[in-house]
Amino acid sequence: MDTLGAGDTFIARVLVGLLEGEAPQSLLQAAADAAAHTCTYLGAVGYGVPIDVAKAPNNSI
């Protein structure tokens, strides 16, 4: 699970709901759902990049 961007998604959905006059309970549920959906995507964590610690310069890790 990658939570990168989940908070941004939550806040964005809350703001959209507020601007559209959506009921608080409804917009919070929609924001939580949107944030959870964001966690299903890979973020910018650098997946699949192996590091050979023995060959890495001392100051790179």
**pLDDT tens digits for 20-29?**
999 999 999 9
- Give Cα 61 to chain centroid, integer Å: 25
Higher-pLDDT residue of 1 and 4 is: 4
Q: What is the 3-state secondary structure (H, E, C) of 11-48?
A: HHHHHHHHHCCCCHHHHHHHHHHHHHHHCCCCCCCCCC
**pLDDT tens digits for 27-56?**
999 999 999 999 888 776 656 666 676 776
Contacts of 41 (CB under 8 A, 6+ apart): 2, 5
The helix/strand/coil state of 50 is coil
Higher-pLDDT residue of 35 and 2 is: 35
